[in-house]
Amino acid sequence: MVIKIDGKIKEKKEEVLKGIEAEEKILEYLIQQNRPYNATDLAANLRVIKKVEVIRCLNHLFENQKVLMKSFGKQQIYCCLQSKEITESPEELQKIQIELTKGKEELKSLKDQNGSLEIQLIKLRNEPTSTQLSIVKESLTQQVKELEEKIINLKTHSSTSNPETETKLLQEPKPNQTINELNSNLEKYKSLYQERKKIAKQVIKTVTENIEDEEIRNSFEISIGIESDEPELIKLIELNGLENHKVEKLGSSGSRKRSFSTHLR
């Protein structure tokens, strides 16, 4: 302790406690803090009791069952006796629990806010500083200038390009080539149509053979929505000059009808 006497600053030694006074001081401190301590921490915190005296007082208090002691290796930890009686009422305990839950929610909210602020801080640190803005501006200005020059060059090149080359790139296929490709596709789809038609007729024949009721058997194709695609085939024949092509009728029209070829896709 530092005191001032006759205008002079002098250090006054603190009074060292011993015996019963030291025991009472230690016990009072343990009850007030209500947490475990070892002898070294108590001596450092109290200051007015030497470590040797603290050890002696703690052992005496433990022998008189005024404090609790637990050994961890060579170290002894002391704490005050805990009351076995619950002094708080159920209402007070419920109130404490509500406050604890509220505190946990507030803590979680603050942690989330802190995380968000840390992310913003990192972004701000990655942004250019005030002294770097002029350098960044010059760099962006140069990039804009280079892009504008590229645009001008592209426009100039486009206006002076060879018209014959552009016409060749956009040239459509030759008529003869287009007709050959269409004819090839037509033959392909005709073969697929005939193949599927044959399969469908066989399936319908197999099914109707097992239907005993004649009325149901005769209206089977209508009931499953199969209709004749004769008009489409006639049009196709006329376009291809196949007047002698024989058209076979698969069925008549009915409710919920759709073309035979579409039905079999």
Please state the φ and ψ torsions of residue 44, each to the nearest 5 degrees. -70, -35
**Count of CA atoms in the C-beta half-sphere (13 A) of 127:** 9
**Strands 8-11 and 67-72, sheet pairing:** unpaired
What residue ranges define each of the domains in the chain, with the CATH number in brackets? 11-80 (1.10.10.10), 175-263 (no CATH)
CA-CA distance, 26 to 12, in Å (whole number)? Answer: 23
Give the pLDDT of residue 236.
Answer: 61
pLDDT number for residue 76: 93
Q: Whole-number mean pLDDT of the chain?
A: 78
* pLDDT tier at 261, thresholds 50, 70, 90: very low
- Whether the pLDDT of residue 259 is over 80: the answer is no
Our separate counts of H helices and E strands in the chain read 11, 4
Contact assessment for residue 211 and residue 260, using Cβ atoms and an 8 Å cutoff:
no
Confidence (pLDDT) at 205:
84
Residue located via tokens 């008549």: 252
Structural element, H or E, at residue 262: helix 260-263
Condensed to tens digits (0 to 9), the pLDDT of residues 28-81 reads 999 999 999 999 999 999 989 999 999 999 999 999 999 999 998 889 999 998
| Residue owning tokens 């037509």 | 186
- pLDDT one-digit tens code per residue, 208-244: 888 877 777 777 777 777 766 666 665 665 565 544 4
Report d(CA 80, CA 35) in Å as an integer: 8
